[in-house]
C-alpha cells in the first residue's frame, strides 16, 4: 500500500476526490468516477479522501467545498476544481493536462 505522498509524487497521474458522506453532489460523483476508471484504465489512479476523516489533508490542500477534485503528477497539482463533473468531462481534462 502506497502512502498519499508516494501516490502524489508518482509518474502516474492521480485524481483525488475530496468528498464528504453527507454531500449529495459527492454521492453523484461515485458512479462518474467508476466510469472514468473504465474510460482511462490504468493510465490514472483515482482515490477518494473523506474530508471529515482526513481534515489535515483537506486543510493542506485548502479544500473548502466538496466535492473538490485535484489532479496530481510528480508532486505537482496539474488541475483542481470544486463541484461535480461527468466522467467524459474529467477524461477530457485529464488527457489535456497529462499529454502536454
**Active-site residue list:** 23, 26
Q: With b meaning 16 or more CB within 10 Å and e meaning fewer, what string describes 78-97?
A: bbeeeebbebeebbebbeee
Amino acid at each position: 500500500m502506497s502512502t498519499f505522498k508516494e501516490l502524489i509524487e508518482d509518474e502516474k497521474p492521480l485524481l483525488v476526490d475530496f468528498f464528504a458522506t453527507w454531500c449529495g453532489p459527492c454521492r453523484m460523483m461515485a458512479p462518474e468516477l467508476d466510469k472514468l476508471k473504465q474510460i482511462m484504465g490504468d493510465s490514472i489512479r483515482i482515490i477518494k479522501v473523506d474530508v471529515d476523516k482526513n481534515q489535515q489533508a483537506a486543510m493542506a490542500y485548502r479544500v473548502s467545498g466538496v466535492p473538490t477534485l485535484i489532479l496530481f503528477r510528480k508532486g505537482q497539482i496539474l488541475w483542481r476544481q470544486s463541484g461535480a463533473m461527468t466522467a467524459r468531462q474529467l477524461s477530457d481534462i485529464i488527457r489535456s493536462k497529462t499529454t502536454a
